[in-house]
Amino acid sequence: MQFESLPGFREFYPEACRLRNYIFSHWRKVARCYCFSEYDAPVLEPLELYIEKSGEEIVGQLFNFEDRGGRAVALRPEMTPSLARLVGAKANSLKRPVKWFNIGEHYRYERPQKGRLRAFYQFNVDIFGEAGPAADAELICLLIQSLQSFGLGEADFKLRLSDRDLWLLMLASEGLDEAASAKVLGIVDKLERMERAKALESLSAILGEQAESFLGQVERLTTIRDFAGLRAFVEALPLEGARQEAARQRLAEWTALMEHVEAAGLMAFLQIDLGIVRGLAYYTGFVFEAFEASGEGRALAGGGRYDALVKKLGGPEMPAVGFAMGDVTLIDLLESKALLPKFVDAPDIVIVMVGADERKLALLDAASLRAVGYQVNYPLKEQGFGKQFKAANQSGARFALIYGTDELARGAVKVKDLTSGGECEIRRSDLLQTLPELIEHGLMADDGAR
Ligand code: HAM
């Protein structure tokens, strides 16, 4: 009987592991450059954590079951609820703003397809304790720079910025209450993938005869791409009193956010797009998603503000904003742009030995070279000289250290530069001092004994 892995779960052969490490090292490096600290949380959580907190869409995709103690549990589909709990529990002792990141695997029972698997990695980056738009802008810059770090440019991806607060103001101006607004936003979230007639039908169920004019209004709003257009749209909304003041303040926050991104020199990546509303239940203000520039394919990353979640999970009032980037769509994009490097896993040094007597000395030297960080390999079983040499050449190693009887009798070994063919003899006792220079400069084909 043959066992196969489950649909949507990947097996990571060494090649794939190298690629994964490459992605993770870029994510980690950018997060550190922005001075974020790494944290982690459990992979298995109480099911309750995701019910209501994450919203219908994710709850419908949970890997959940009852554990042996009768607890209802779920594999984490996302990090945000766990993170909000962690931060909430220590909120008083944490220095603000809290800037944390994580790289971890997440699980969603989705139909496996291009860009979507059932187990995938996310790079989660979040800021807590800062309510102003500078925190949103900082994360937007971090997101852009992490994609840039892979060689992607403004012709390759865009970050689409939207705002749930503006949406709620617009919906309030239509006379919709909170519950109806949530339903309408659920429809707006799917608008791009939905036929107009179907959208109209769904909106009619909530808005009755107003649905057609409302959909026209939505279409006008979602096609705005410049701030002047957005400002004009918002200023024309029939808002009064506190709502009018809220709209004015919101536009000032938009201005501050965009000035920040502009000052960082990253404005070319930012696109206003109110068509983004985000499916997750906890978002409150600015929301954003990164996509391939053509707009095709699934999102590379998504996030936004969630100022109420920490409190909902038992913590104090604590503003929060963050995003997560997935590895699946990112790798697809890097592959399509030929931006994935060729990974080589070659040793620095391969040891070639004449016979069993030389092996002991070779093992001793290999251990001391490895102890200081060289990547050293040798055959695990005795082999003929020719076969060992062929393997050393095929390994891609830079140098062969040859343990021959005559050289060893003189307390020396022969070093061969496998690229140039140059050779020299060095004393075993000098190996650690001599190798760094050899590795830096190589050996010329006509280099003699040193
Ligand atoms: P999300 O939009 O559900 O947000 O996921 C973020 C990213 O994770 C997506 O843009 C995508 O790249 C990747 N992703 C999601 N589902 C899958 C899947 N089935 N297969 C492959 N990749 C996938 C969140 O998860 C929020 N918790 C992000 C956040 C952090 N908001 C605030 N802080």
**Taking CA 189 as the corner, what is the angle to CA 99 and CA 301, rounded to the nearest 5 degrees?**
35
Residue 216 backbone phi and psi in degrees, to 5: -60, -45
Ligand 1: centre distance to CA 321 (Å):
14
Sign of the Cα pseudo-torsion (443, 447, 448, 450, in order)? negative
Radius of gyration of the chain (CA): 29
| Distance linking the first and last C-alpha atoms of the chain | 60
Structure token pair of residue 445: 């084909």
CB neighbour list of residue 201: distance below 8 Å, 6 or more residues apart: none
> Rounded to the nearest 10 degrees, what angle do helices 178-190 and 196-207 cross at?
180
Position 446 scores a pLDDT of 62
In angstroms, the CA 207 to CA 202 distance is: 9
Task: Pick from 6, 50, 56, 78 the residue to mutate for probing ligand 1's pocket: most ligand atoms within 8 Å of its CB.
Answer: 78
| Among 370, 393, 440, CA closest to 402 | 393
CB neighbour list of residue 322: distance below 8 Å, 6 or more residues apart: 80, 83, 124, 125, 126, 127, 139, 303, 304, 306
Report yes or no: 128 and 98 within 8 Å, Cβ to Cβ: yes
Position 447 scores a pLDDT of 57
Please tell me if the CB atom of residue 292 comes closer than 6 angstroms to any atom of ligand 1.
Answer: no
Q: How many residues does the chain have?
A: 450
Structure token pair of residue 63: 């890997």
Q: Where are the beta strands (DSSP E) in 14-85?
A: 37-38, 44-46, 64-66, 72-75
Report yes or no: 90 and 42 within 8 Å, Cβ to Cβ: no
Cis peptide before 81 (omega within 30 of 0): no
Digits of tens for pLDDT over the chain (450 positions)? 779 999 999 999 999 999 999 999 999 999 999 999 999 999 999 999 998 777 777 889 999 999 999 999 999 999 999 999 999 999 999 999 999 999 999 999 999 999 999 999 999 999 999 999 999 999 999 999 999 999 999 999 999 999 999 999 999 888 888 888 888 998 988 888 889 999 999 999 988 888 999 999 999 999 999 999 999 999 999 988 999 999 999 999 999 999 999 999 999 999 999 999 887 889 999 999 999 999 888 999 999 999 999 999 999 999 999 999 999 999 999 999 999 999 888 999 999 998 888 999 999 999 999 999 999 999 999 999 999 999 999 999 999 999 999 999 999 999 999 999 999 999 999 999 998 888 888 887 665 544
Position 450 scores a pLDDT of 45
Which residue, by CA, sits nearest to atom 29 of ligand 1? Answer: 323
Q: Is 69 left (phi over 0), alpha (psi -120 to 50) or beta?
A: alpha
Q: Is 265 left (phi over 0), alpha (psi -120 to 50) or beta?
A: left
| Among 111, 287, 52, CA closest to 189 | 287
Report yes or no: 129 and 343 within 8 Å, Cβ to Cβ: no
| Among 315, 325, 301, 330, CA closest to 102 | 325
- Antiparallel, parallel or unpaired: β 286-292 and 157-163: antiparallel
Which residue, by CA, sits nearest to atom 16 of ligand 1? Answer: 116
Please tell me if the CB atom of residue 125 comes closer than 6 angstroms to any atom of ligand 1.
Answer: no
Q: Does domain 14-336 have CATH number 3.30.930.10?
A: yes
Task: Pick from 36, 157, 328 the residue to mutate for probing ligand 1's pocket: most ligand atoms within 8 Å of its CB.
Answer: 328
Task: Pick from 106, 122, 125 the residue to mutate for probing ligand 1's pocket: most ligand atoms within 8 Å of its CB.
Answer: 122
Report yes or no: 320 and 84 within 8 Å, Cβ to Cβ: yes
337 alpha carbon, distance to own chain's centre = 18
Position 179 scores a pLDDT of 86
The pLDDT tens digits of the residues spanning 409-436 come to 999 999 999 999 999 999 999 999 998 8
The amino acid at 72: A
**Taking CA 56 as the corner, what is the angle to CA 158 and CA 128, rounded to the nearest 5 degrees?**
55
pTM: 0.93
Ligand 1: centre distance to CA 210 (Å):
34
In angstroms, the CA 104 to CA 110 distance is: 18
Residues 331-335: contacts with CB under 8 Å, at least 24 apart = 331/19, 331/23, 332/114, 332/115, 332/297, 333/152, 333/156, 333/157, 333/292, 333/297, 333/300, 334/150, 334/151, 334/152
Q: Give the domain ranges of the chain.
A: 14-336, 349-441
253-268 burial by CB neighbour count: b if 16+ within 10 A, else e? bbeebbebbeeeebee
Query: Would you identify the CATH topology of the domain 349-441?
Result: Rossmann fold (3.40.50)
Please tell me if the CB atom of residue 290 comes closer than 6 angstroms to any atom of ligand 1.
Answer: no
